[in-house]
A and B are shown apart, each in its own frame.
Chain A
């Protein structure tokens, strides 16, 4: 009984393992037309034969059609003319490949005039064959180029008219759209009359656009910007002008503050050709900073086309960055440190040492110190009360309470902080007071400075 069961099990497994059936190629292809058995190669035509297995795909006819047309399109060679705009400008290898791939894709997208020669199927496969006459293809392509050039040329002329009128924003839009019209033919030699001369059209268009763009510049109101951290900051208003120093409205611009990496201000010039950059976030201690503004050509292009090829192509036009040096003027602090010491300890120099430590910390952070309160932007007034040291056997303890007030230059209190019970211990009374002040200095550096002075900037 058991043996029979095991035998059955083995048979079942074997059957599962070796159930594959081989079908001969000859039987499968019996009755197939010549174009199935051998790829056609008539020189007057572009050919495309597509085959798709039937078993796994329900849309195999459509899939086969796509395969055939892709093959047909792939057989149309893409050649880049030596006088095309693609060869005129210098692109890196990756960009060149990108443009060529796009030209190839547009060839597929605009494939017209092809004819269905036949289809054939067996149990497992579906075959289809298209072809396109080379003469017909050239005719269609010339017609498309002609239409594109006509459309583009009228936009180009309009762009130039706008540029002549100083309407640069409008002009740029038309330049971009003019290029968009001929985007499928940037590998071709598109010759046309410009200014009465036979000129490579796309090159002329791009050169004109670049010249117009490069004629624009950003002018700052001053040669250098002085900023004092913590002071009320007025926005900077640079202006975009053309070569005749006329203000240009409607131009997208962007500004960067070198001290705030990752932050960018985007704006569009107003009717006076101006835009605003707020020089916020300046901290004491910064040096050699700058505001960098550029005419945002990417944005200009993106606003006028969503075509990636066009956007990428315009990247070839390089524009200058305009820089305004920024000098950080250190804020000035007046420091006053006074302590009420027990009468017997009046000769201690803890005040002076604390005062010196505060000055050191502030200077380290890029803050200037003035002993003339009238010239200071802020005053830091520190008042400390030292309790009489208490003796405990051979040791002494003392405690200090300090009040720290931050005043503006009008004497108004801005912030205040109280530090209670700062303890000191030592083998003598004086030593215990000095120890308490040592703690006070640490607390000033670790907590008071970040809490009441840093937020000013």
Chain B
């Protein structure tokens, strides 16, 4: 197989090599035909292509030299004729074509001659043609028709870059429209656009007129606009204007501090107002924003942030009533909840165990039905600075470790048999196998209440009911499991059940492990406590 593909590849390579050589030869033959017919341009072009393909073939280079020189002579005569007729443009461009062809052909190592007389004719034609174009360009610049002037000076530049003051005129024709555009933008108070126009000029020619000075003036005007907006407390307009200047030159005068002020002052003012009106959380976030943006030095934002944080802090005492039938799991629930609240890093919530604060109140509250004692609540508020009590009541809790269920089942083991003629048939043998199952489950119903210590008001109330369970089921067969089929009982007799073969195979290969009740509990507690923590964090007592 490999030998065959190598042969095909080799044949293709031979064909393509022969074909390349053949194409080149055909080209050269065609070139020779053109040459014979006096069509030197076509001949030279084909010889050139052939010489490029086969650089070592001397005949092609000779042909190129011969036909190319004839073609050049034809062009030289065109140059001369055009010059005689006063068609100086044609003379110039014919010569340039000639020069271009000679340059192209040089790559093959063939040097085509351009007669001195032709070169002199070109130089004269060029002088006359460019002088005419130059005059026209000058006139157009005078008339402020910069687009047309630019085209003319670009043409002159391409033909003779050092022709008189072409560079200077080209510069003027290119830059002056931008310069004037900048002035128009400036006049319409569009200072940044003016700046950008002049900046484009400065990038090309930094010494162009007073363009650098103008850039500074445009920037200064925009800066002043921003500063006046700021003084007039139009902070968003000020931030836009000062931001424009800052982005261009961050070191411009005091633009950095002004820009910071424009961005942060409205936030600062709102935060102070919020702090004054007891909306300490919002105030805190405002001050945080300012500190993130401007660092800790913006006015007294750092101090006020701390003040807002103190005011916004929300100490909670956790009262977890005993869990029915499982005191240890109740403590676990409480511990997980505390851990989650701490991990949330909420700046405002401070969590305490009621047991650590006041054992007497704890005892009074534990198992209490109806509302908590107001006096005691007030005591927690006044003496311990607790804002609210988080009460957990477990109305139901059940953790069940299921027992292993066994069932003996009847099935068939199928065996393939080959007779003397090599014919294959099956023999089904009735067998017994075991099926096992177990279910573990944890079930909980918990009521959560957040009660204000100051007013006794229930601030938040949630009921969570959740069950977590796991079940395992598998089959065990001592024989060849993959040949085992289930059986169905019909008319007191067992028959092989081919349809449910796959289901039985799944049972035979099923996982025989089960999540333990404690693992189910941990999962359940975690999920529940995420929800409770989330409810606490999103609860805003200032709302």
Contacts and interface: CB of A to CB of B under 8 A. Distances in A.
A308 interface: yes
A308 B85 contact: yes
A390 B231 contact: yes
Contacts of B186: 443, 446-447
Nearest to A259: B142
B493 interface: no
Interface stretch (B100-108, B132-140, B267-275, B478-486): B132-140
Contact of A262 (B121, B136, B231): B136
Contacts of A43: none
B36 A53 contact: yes
Interface string A319-356: 00000000000000000000000000000000000000
A447 B443 CA distance: 83
Interface stretch (B16-24, B302-310, B337-345): B16-24
B37 A53 contact: yes
A52 B36 CA distance: 9
- B interface: dominant SS: helix
B214 A446 contact: yes
A425 B120 contact: no
Contacts of B140: 262
Interface in A36-60: 52-53, 55-57
Contacts of B142: 260-263, 281
Interface string B114-138: 0001001100100000000011111
A152 interface: no
A13 B134 CA distance: 58
Given A56-B33, A56-B36, A425-B231, A102 B84 contact: yes
Contacts of A10: 14-15, 18
Interface in A438-457: 439, 442-443, 446-447, 450-451
A135 interface: no
A98 B231 CA distance: 80
Contacts, number: 99
Contacts of A102: 84
B214 A13 contact: no
Max chain A Cβ within 10 angstroms of own Cβ: one of B84, B183, B228: B228
Nearest to B117: A97
Interface in A285-321: 308-309, 311
Contacts of A311: 86
Given A17-B25, A281-B142, A261 B187 contact: no
Contacts of B228: 397, 423, 425
Interface string B223-248: 01101100110000000000000000
A254 B341 CA distance: 98
B136 A17 contact: no
B217 interface: yes
A273 interface: no
B84 A450 contact: no
B535 interface: no
A435 B135 CA distance: 46
A392 interface: yes
B37 A57 contact: yes
A9 interface: yes
B138 A261 contact: yes
A450 B210 CA distance: 14
A55 B21 CA distance: 26
Contacts of B25: 17
Interface of A: 6, 9-10, 13-14, 16-17, 20, 52-53, 55-57, 93-94, 97-98, 101-102, 260-264, 281, 308-309, 311, 390, 392, 395, 397, 423-425, 435, 439, 442-443, 446-447, 450-451
19 contacts: A17-B18, A17-B26, A53-B37, A55-B36, A56-B39, A94-B124, A98-B84, A101-B80, A102-B84, A262-B139, A309-B84, A390-B231, A395-B227, A423-B228, A439-B224, A443-B186, A446-B187, A446-B214, A450-B183
Interface of B: 11, 14-15, 18-19, 21-22, 25-26, 29, 33, 36-39, 80, 83-86, 117, 120-121, 124, 134-142, 183, 186-187, 214, 217, 220-221, 224-225, 227-228, 231-232
